[in-house]
């Protein structure tokens, strides 16, 4: 399980500037790609400390911020409290084996899918939690050679994804208007000092 890994990482999560920059890019891309409105009930799957969700919350009616890591959710809860944010609710939930009776107009997720072994099952679950006409937005790493995460990161189940394949899977689940675009490139420096970019895609679709 990666829960313990993320519990330990939570306190220092927001200290990495590259995470803040990526979250801003992903939030900006979701906001410019989808017609967000202040009537929308949204869920973020794998919210972490809320870097993406808190940027989008002012454009939404409500946001249920779901994660399996209690540590990540504690950091988010502190921010909600300090910033007196009224429309974001942290929720510890594993959607793969726990029920959720709510339905949403928008579900989004950033850099979570590669930590979930059962890709098909979670996509199916997320689509099922959308109302008719609701939007799904998934941001993750483009397929890479396994060099993105260093060995200390636990729970890496996939070395990114081919968005063409994910788009086809969403189509198979009845999603319409499915498209994807590169929204960011994460620059990392290897041991030899060489810089390399890891592209991040945003995949969107509408339940039709
Ligand atoms: C790489 S972090 C990304 C956090 C946040 N989305 C961001 O962009 O800063 C992955 C997050 O997914 C969460 N996660 C991993 N597996 C999960 C699962 N099965 N259900 C919900 N959250 C999960 C982790 O606890 C962690 O907070």
Q: How far is ligand 1, taken at its centre, from the CA of residue 196, in Å?
A: 24
For the chain, what percentages of helix, strand and coil (3-state, to nearest 5) are there?
Answer: 35, 30, 35
Q: Which atom of ligand 1 is nearest to the CA of 122?
A: 19
Domains and CATH numbers, the chain: 3-207 (3.40.50.150)
- Beta-bridged to residue 83, according to DSSP, are none
Q: Which two tokens stand for residue 115?
A: 């930590």
How many Å apart are CA 106 and CA 36, to the nearest integer?
8
> Ligand 1: which residues within 6 Å by Cβ?
2, 6, 19, 23, 45-48, 51-52, 66-69, 72, 94, 96, 110-112, 115-116
Query: Would you give per-residue pLDDT tens digits along the chain (208 residues)?
Result: 589 999 999 999 999 999 999 999 999 999 999 999 999 999 999 999 999 999 999 999 999 999 999 999 999 999 999 999 999 999 999 999 999 999 999 999 999 999 999 999 999 999 999 999 999 999 999 999 999 998 888 899 999 999 999 999 999 999 999 999 999 999 998 888 999 999 999 999 999 9
Q: How far is ligand 1, taken at its centre, from the CA of residue 36, in Å?
A: 23
How many Å apart are CA 26 and CA 9, to the nearest integer?
21
Q: Which atom of ligand 1 is nearest to the CA of 19?
A: 9
How many Å apart are CA 186 and CA 199, to the nearest integer?
6
Give the residue whose CA is nearest to atom 23 of ligand 1: 46
Contacts of 92 (CB under 8 A, 6+ apart): 66, 67, 68, 70, 73
- Beta-bridged to residue 109, according to DSSP, are 138
- pLDDT score recorded for residue 1: 58
The residue whose CB lies within 8 Å of the most ligand 1 atoms, and thus the one to mutate among 4, 48, 125, is: 48
Contacts of 75 (CB under 8 A, 6+ apart): 10, 11, 13, 14, 49, 50
The residue whose CB lies within 8 Å of the most ligand 1 atoms, and thus the one to mutate among 9, 20, 68, 113, is: 68
The secondary structure of 180-194 as a DSSP string is: EEEEEEEEEE-TTS-
CA–centroid distance for 10 within its chain? 16
> CA 40, 41, 46, 47 torsion: positive or negative?
positive
Q: Which two tokens stand for residue 159?
A: 């070395």
Q: Which atom of ligand 1 is nearest to the CA of 22?
A: 8
């Amino acid at each position: 399980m990666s829960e313990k890994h993320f519990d330990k990482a939570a306190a220092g999560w927001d200290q990495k500037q590259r995470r803040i920059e990526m979250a801003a890019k992903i939030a900006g891309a979701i906001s410019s790609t989808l017609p967000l409105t202040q009537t929308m009930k949204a869920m973020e799957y794998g919210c972490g400390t809320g870097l993406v969700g808190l940027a989008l919350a002012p454009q939404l009616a409500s946001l249920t911020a779901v994660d399996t890591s209690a540590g990540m959710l504690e950091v988010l809860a502190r921010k909600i409290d300090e910033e007196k944010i009224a429309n974001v609710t942290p929720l510890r939930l594993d959607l793969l084996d726990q029920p959720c009776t709510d339905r949403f107009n928008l579900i989004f997720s950033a850099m979570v899918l590669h930590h979930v072994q059962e890709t098909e099952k979670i996509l199916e679950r997320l689509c099922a939690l959308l109302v008719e006409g609701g939007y799904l937005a998934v941001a993750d790493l483009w397929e890479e050679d396994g060099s993105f995460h260093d060995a200390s990161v636990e729970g890496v189940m996939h070395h990114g994804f081919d968005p063409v394949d994910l788009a086809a899977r969403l189509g198979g689940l009845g999603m319409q208007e499915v498209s994807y675009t590169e929204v960011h490139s994460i620059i990392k420096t290897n041991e030899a000092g060489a810089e390399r970019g890891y592209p991040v895609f945003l995949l969107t679709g509408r339940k039709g």
